Structure 1
Amino acid sequence: MPKTKYKSKKRNWLLYSGLFILLLITVVIGYSIHLYQQTENMVNESHEQIDRKESKSELRSDHVDPVKDNVSVLFLGTDTSEHRQYGESSRTDAIILATFNKFERSIKLLSIPRDTYVFVPKVGNYTKINHAHFYGGPISTIETIEQFLDVPIDYYVRMNFDAFVEVVDALDGILFDVPYEIVESDSHDNKNTIHLTPGYQKLNGEQALALARTRKYDSDVDRGKRQQEIIKVIISKTTSISSVPKLSNVIEAIGDNLKTNLSFQEMKSFLSYGLDKDIEIETVNFEGKGSYMNGGWYYQIEEESKRRVQQELKNHLDIVITNNPSLYHIGISFSIK
């Protein structure tokens, strides 16, 4: 009799545990499908093509495929929000060019100071690089950077202040080592509403944005480095297991404030980078100096530093020069199975 009761209890345990596991699997699958559909809808609504020949960089001889090729993505943070409502006539407050290498499983992040003195084709004159977006949107910024660096830009992602704040808040904040005390305005331009003291601490969206944007306490280059580090922290937290339940809120936060020429199928191909816990993210920075010229403050990049960065990004993209010095093609392609 005791033996029968034991078997009965064992069968019940197996039955209930099996049902529990089945329930978990069902919930996970259902949640994954929900996220998939939510992400697809978000990207489709945010998608916009830019007006360039054959929908590819003029520095490419062939179309690239992020599934098998090394590609570049330009991330633009614009100084607009629901509060400011600048629309297309906004300046870029953050400019980061990312290159993705499939074979090395690595990403390089180049921060371009917003005051960099460059020739802007849309204007036909030299000015600050953040003016390019004001005069011609993403395509003007892309053309400016391609001419300046001679490196192809395959895709772009544009986000505003609201997206940054809402993503950090959706992740329940980020941990960051604040280098010094700062007093800054919030995203609604309310002066001196953000006060941070030095040290490792948890930042909400408004605090993280204030730290990323401030330029009063160091140089434009240091500002770019801070932005790179903050982005790395956000990427790390977004791809952690603990953030899975928060991804729906992250997607929702991004969707209302995002524009990109990446299709949903192309964006999915970057998933392998996010799932790779050993992915290497390296920051790249220019060297130069700021000075007043023609009544304005500009950052002038040293030519040697520019050449070094150009070569580093070209090597990372694994592109080779064809007979046309302004045209590139992919040297080697790698498939991820």
Structure 2
Amino acid sequence: MRSDKHIDKQQRVKRLKRLSLILGIIFFLTFGIIAGYFANEVREFLDDVNKDTPEELKDTSEQDASLKDLQPISFLLLGLDAEGEGGATRTDSIMIATVNPKKESTKIISIPRDTLITLPNSNEQEKFNAIYPINGIAGLIDFVEDYLTIPISFYATLNFEGLVDLVDAVGGITVDSPLSFTVQDSDETADAIVIEEGIQEVNGEEALGFARMRKQDPRGDFGRQDRQRKVIEAVIDELLSFNSVTNLTPILNAVRPNLQTNMSGQQILTVASNYTDAAKSIESVELSGAAEYVYFPSYGHDLYVWNPYEESLDEARRTLREHLELDPSSEELPEENGDDEIDN
């Protein structure tokens, strides 16, 4: 009798082991299929977002050493928008982010698009957002490096049309609006988007309206810059959440046709693996300045422009250089991004 019980117990143990083995095989096969599917999706996505990188910006091998050693890196982030029907694509939003993984912090500075500058290799005055359509992304990177006296590790451009799809793909975002306003939607329907003062959930269209409105904000472009940063931070929070991992396909499909970067697929994965903690602490670097109207011969009339105070610009340069662990008192770029490469 006792022997029969012992045999039954052994058989039950064997059945449990067999069942556990079968379940384990099923789990790993399922996980492997999912991982393989997403790996293929991610590979295709990474191939797409850097395929149109200009030839002179494709070699990012020097940045690999920085990523390997977890050194601070910098990004030029551009929000692109076509001006009017068939108009030239201009940089509606110009941000520079410095990311320091050891300090687990990120600093972002926004350069107002109406900032008065002198075009590279020219004495002609223009606004900052005109550099991209005139000199291209490579020329803009050179100019920003010289303007802020920091090297730019990578760039990324996002068409504003892509913001709508991206926010919708992550299931919407939460923003805290400092004021109430109405604004047109992407189809230019007047007052189609209503933003209330305070904390609220917004979808893609609402997020775009929240980020782009300027004329109703008493702070003008600076108020808009703050709202754009809020949208970026909210999107980052959602992208880092578990829900985004399980919703990867629509996110990749939303970003794919609207994002362009010079980062290689491996570099994107490295940053995603080793630098994400720095996104938990995002600090704004402010620029102070004054607005005026300046006559532009090329346009034949006065235009609104903005000029940063020199002391504020110098302080911003020191702050960014220190965050990148460069000599804050120097205005020289590191040798690998040397001044001989800057022709403005």
Q: Same fold (TM over 0.5)?
A: yes
Is the alpha carbon distance of 1:22 and 1:110 closer, same or farther for their aligned partners in structure 2, counting shifts above 3 Å? farther
State which drifts further: 146-155 or 163-172.
146-155
Is the alpha carbon distance of 1:8 and 1:319 closer, same or farther for their aligned partners in structure 2, counting shifts above 3 Å? same
Is the alpha carbon distance of 1:162 and 1:278 closer, same or farther for their aligned partners in structure 2, counting shifts above 3 Å? closer
Identity of aligned residues (%): 27
CA deviation map 1:163-194 (0-9, x unaligned): 11111010111111222222112223232221
8 Å Cα contact 1:120/1:126 also seen in 2: yes
1: CA distance between counterparts of 2:78 and 2:221? 16
**Structure 1: 5+ residue stretches without partners:** 57-61, 331-337
1: CA distance between counterparts of 2:33 and 2:189? 42
Q: How does 1:277-296 map to 2 (within 5 A)?
A: 279-294=280-295, 295-296=302-303
State which drifts further: 32-41 or 299-308.
32-41
Please state how far the C-alpha of 1:257 moved relative to its aligned partner.
1.1
Matching residue of 1:219: 220
Matching residue of 1:328: 334
Please state how far the C-alpha of 1:274 moved relative to its aligned partner.
5.7
8 Å Cα contact 2:321/2:328 also seen in 1: no
Provide the aligned C-alpha RMSD in A.
Answer: 3.1
How many pairs align?
321
Matching residue of 2:185: 186
Give the secondary-structure state (helix, strand or coil) at the position aligned to 2:143: helix
2: CA distance between counterparts of 1:111 and 1:290? 16
Aligned counterpart for 1:49 among listed residues 44, 47, 53: 53
Matching residue of 2:43: 40
Matching residue of 2:263: 262
Q: How does 1:1-337 map to 2 (within 5 A)?
A: 16=19, 19-20=22-23, 22-47=25-50, 48-50=52-54, 52=56, 55=59, 63-65=62-64, 66-68=67-69, 69-80=71-82, 86=87, 89-121=88-120, 124-216=123-215, 217=217, 218-273=219-274, 275-276=276-277, 279-294=280-295, 295-320=302-327, 326-329=332-335
2: CA distance between counterparts of 1:276 and 1:32? 24
2: CA distance between counterparts of 1:51 and 1:298? 33
2: CA distance between counterparts of 1:205 and 1:122? 40
Is the alpha carbon distance of 1:145 and 1:3 closer, same or farther for their aligned partners in structure 2, counting shifts above 3 Å? same
Structure 1 length-normalised TM? 0.83
Is the alpha carbon distance of 1:225 and 1:67 closer, same or farther for their aligned partners in structure 2, counting shifts above 3 Å? farther
Is the alpha carbon distance of 1:4 and 1:85 closer, same or farther for their aligned partners in structure 2, counting shifts above 3 Å? farther
Structure (1/2) with the larger helix percentage: 2
Please state how far the C-alpha of 1:119 moved relative to its aligned partner.
2.4
Is the alpha carbon distance of 1:251 and 1:127 closer, same or farther for their aligned partners in structure 2, counting shifts above 3 Å? same
8 Å Cα contact 2:114/2:304 also seen in 1: yes
CA deviation map 1:283-314 (0-9, x unaligned): 22212232222211112111111111101111
Structure 1 or 2, whichever has the larger Rg, is: 2
Give the secondary-structure state (helix, strand or coil) at the position aligned to 2:182: strand
